[in-house]
Structure 1
Amino acid sequence: MTIQSAVDATVESDRVVFEYTVENVGDDSAEIQFRSSLLADFAVLGDDEEVWRASDGQMFAQMIQNETFDAGDAETFTEEWADPAPGDYTVVATLNTMGDDAEARTDFSV
């Protein structure tokens, strides 16, 4: 299984929209096992400290679920951060799987 991921941050006037794309770039299908109904999460860091997390204050079903990614398949997860303070940040997007997590980062400014 060869999973690659990337995250983009689009800054708008009143929010930042994150798009996290995970792709199976291998030649074989891959079965991914998720820990819960939270499939992907986004954390924003400012000065190496977490200032926002998409999953904060939310509850997720505690269930194991499987998803098959055929070779070349990709899935995109989106989230938005409303009313961010001006500054320089890093978003860290994580695929919440059993075993090895896929993670991607990108810097952005508001």
Structure 2
Amino acid sequence: MGGFLLRILVSALAAMLTTYLLKPAVKIDSFVTALLLALVLALLNALVRPLLVLFTLPVTLLTLGLFLFVINAVIILLAAKIVPGFKVDGFWWAMLFSIVMTIINSVLSSLAGANNND
């Protein structure tokens, strides 16, 4: 449980840093909103993303996996509809947010030790 909370905190911090880099196209009102966003993204990635990947498997294989970027952008746009205080200006900004947040999240997770399976 502690590892999950650490990953949520790291994801919230990554979302705040990503928002800072992508201003004004992406907006998060507060750190509490970023925590809620991290929690919603974790749930969407656990529940919705596997279904989207399964349903779009032929397209994903045809594009050699590049369609997964589209799925990530759709997840971000869905989170923007669910989380009050989180706004993204469009599909391309959602895709860029997804890419940048993934990179920042990876760096922060390795620094915080959130990737350990203890």
Q: Using structure 2 for the length normalisation, give the TM-score.
A: 0.25
Q: Structure 1 or 2: larger helix share?
A: 2
Q: Which has the larger strand fraction? A: 1
Compute the TM-score of the two structures, normalised by the length of structure 1: 0.27
